[in-house]
A and B are shown apart, each in its own frame.
Chain A
Amino acid sequence: MATDAAPPPHGEPGHDPAHPTTEEFIEVQESAEFGELRHSYRSFAFPLTVAFIAWYLLYVLLSNYAGDFMGTKVYGNINVALVFGLAQFATTFLIAWLYARHAAARLDPKAEAIKTRMESRTEAGG
């Protein structure tokens, strides 16, 4: 009802995606199984996003307004500012790794189960 254009033709060679009906999508969306998948995803990704943005902003604010602290020498010519900067690299790599691990263990199996069932139901149903 909200579209005034027909959906684009699905004509990719060698790959014809299954098309469950809207009712089936609503049913799955309201199911406990999907709710669990959504929860595993959101409860991991959302707080982590807030955390790394806050951590980055802290770094920006310290660079701006805490120059003396950032200039403190740690070792030789290496100061707090450089250590902080490198820590941003380290946390970025760490978060990327943590997310990949979480997704492979907690998200992929659930997603795959739902996808397989929905696509096979579509094929069986017509």
Chain B
Amino acid sequence: MSDTLQLAATSLAAQSATTEHRPLIITLFAAFVVATLFITIWAGRQTRSAADFYAGGRQFTGFQNGLAISGDYMSAASFLGIAGAIALFGYDGFLYSIGFLVAWLVALLLVAEPLRNSGRFTMGDVLAYRMRQRPVRTAAGTSTIVVSIFYLLAQMAGAGVLVSLLLGITHDGGKVLIVALVGVLMILYVTIGGMKGTTWVQMVKAVLLIAGTLLITFLVLLKFNFNISDLLGTAAEKSGHGAAFLEPGLKYGATGTSKLDFISLGIALVLGTAGLPHILIRFYTVPTSQAARKSVNWAIGIIGGFYLMTIALGFGAAAIVGSTEIVESNKAGNTAAPLLALHIGGTDSAGGAILLAVISAVAFATILAVVAGLTLASSSSFAHDIYANVIRRGQATEKEEVRAARWATVAIGVVSIGLGALARDLNVAGLVALAFAVAASANLPTILYSLFWKRFTTQGALWSIYGGLTSSVVLVLFSPVVSGKPTSMFKGMDFYWFPLENPGIVSIPLGFLLGWLGSLLGKEEPDKGKYAELEVKSLTGTGAH
């Protein structure tokens, strides 16, 4: 998301629009913060047991959780990133949305209900169910924390740059201050409000995001008399690419390698979603597996509708703002949506100023809600999987566990403020794709084997988690994401040998293969009784929490 945001030294500020509108934007930011803190404190008063803290008391309805899932999932990367990618690369920007949406079918058909029925608080509950607790919990906790931290870091570093851009702050101190502010707020949301508070924050954010997007989409379509072909034609013409703008290939079609990279990315997006820990723990917030199913269906409807609107947003920005102005403001196109808001409301009118402020506030709300969800997922896993089941060997009381989760939240918050501040000038956009790749390579194979394959063993689980995790991280480390290219995280260095930016095409099959081999090659017999329990529970909900 922060994709070369920092290169935008000219930025929105240069257009004087932002500095002028700063008071209004800050007022809306503050209103969101005050409202969500109020919700958090209210939710905190009702958070007593571990089930309250980890799973929001399991009292949310399918619709509420569907909204919250959408809030958790639609990060600033999808809101600003996809709109920007469509505005600059036309059709290829749209390819992202499709992978992000289709992925939900994996969650719906294979993961959500069995997980809800057989787990309690974390992904580790299901992965370790049939296995030796301590090694598998350690592995599940490690993978949860790694995926969440990568994702979190990308959001945090992006937040500093993005919010500075929207507010027209150009000095370093301001960016660090914003990263710190985001970090402190997310610590407050999670430690005080737990899952209940976080879920409400996600819902509020989802409603704001959908409302803001609907409004801009409506205004764009109105401008073209609801003639989509006209909108596309104008966008293609103003992009300077002509008809090619509406066809695949502008971004990924350059070489054989970039095409392969696109396949790799596509697979990681589709298979990664159902292995993202911060998404998985949302299924525990509803009372039954039917409600879990309903929440995924709501999420598919909301997220699908949102991605359809990004078409209007992206092509609208290309047609109305024009690529020259978008690139001038931010090379990666991340400000395309706010700029569109400004233009469509009228650059010199109060309408434009208000729309810009609203969309900026929505982007800020989006960042805050997503980082809170990620922090909760990693601190839950630390407290429940690693502290309670590995360190204390299942002897910790609920009170001790929740206390550990709160301290873990503070620790993770402080670490990510530090890393986010340090990484503010690095291009960390690749980290989100890496999080999806790790989730698809390490988590998804283990989840599916655990639920559906009776011969799966502890050794198989460890091989697939650690194998998928290590291979995806190592491949990215030696890919152009980290070094060797002008867009790399460390521009001055060059130690890459893996040609693709996304490791999925290698690491995902490897994760599946290792889980299978590890189970067959070990001497260990799978635990038949435990598998009977898990299978019957997961399909019927018998004895579900």
Contacts and interface: CB of A to CB of B under 8 A. Distances in A.
Contact of A81 (B91, B132, B535): B91
Contacts of A100: 293-294, 297
25 contacts: A2-B527, A4-B132, A6-B393, A11-B398, A15-B51, A15-B58, A34-B540, A37-B539, A41-B539, A56-B98, A56-B99, A56-B266, A60-B95, A61-B263, A63-B248, A64-B253, A67-B253, A77-B246, A82-B91, A103-B113, A107-B539, A111-B289, A111-B540, A115-B540, A115-B541
B382 to A, nearest CB: 15
Interface in B313-354: none
Interface residues of chain A: helix, strand, loop or mixed (majority): helix
Interface in B263-280: 263, 266-267, 270
Contacts of A41: 539
Interface of B: 48-51, 58, 91, 94-95, 98-99, 101-102, 104-106, 108-110, 113, 120, 130-134, 228-230, 232-233, 236, 243-244, 246-249, 252-253, 259, 262-263, 266-267, 270, 289-290, 293-294, 296-297, 300-301, 304, 307-308, 388-390, 393-395, 397-398, 452, 458, 527-533, 535-537, 539-545
Contacts, number: 210
B202 to A, nearest CB: 21
A26 B247 contact: no
Given A17-B545, A53-B270, A59-B98, A22 B533 contact: yes
B542 A5 contact: no
A81 B252 CA distance: 15
Contacts of B535: 29, 38
A92 B299 CA distance: 12
Given A70-B247, A89-B308, A115 B389 contact: no
Given A4-B134, A64-B252, A92-B102, A28 B536 contact: yes
A124 interface: no
Contacts of B113: 103
Given A63-B95, A77-B229, A96-B296, 12 more contacts: A2-B458, A7-B394, A19-B543, A37-B539, A65-B259, A67-B247, A77-B232, A81-B247, A88-B98, A89-B307, A103-B113, A114-B540
Contacts of B259: 64-65
Interface string A87-126: 0110011011101100110011001101100110000000
Interface string A22-42: 110110110000100110011
Nearest to B384: A8
Contacts of B304: 89, 92-93
Nearest first, the 10 closest Cβ-Cβ pairs linking A and B are A76-B229, A5-B394, A63-B248, A22-B529, A29-B532, A77-B232, A71-B247, A5-B133, A25-B532, A26-B532
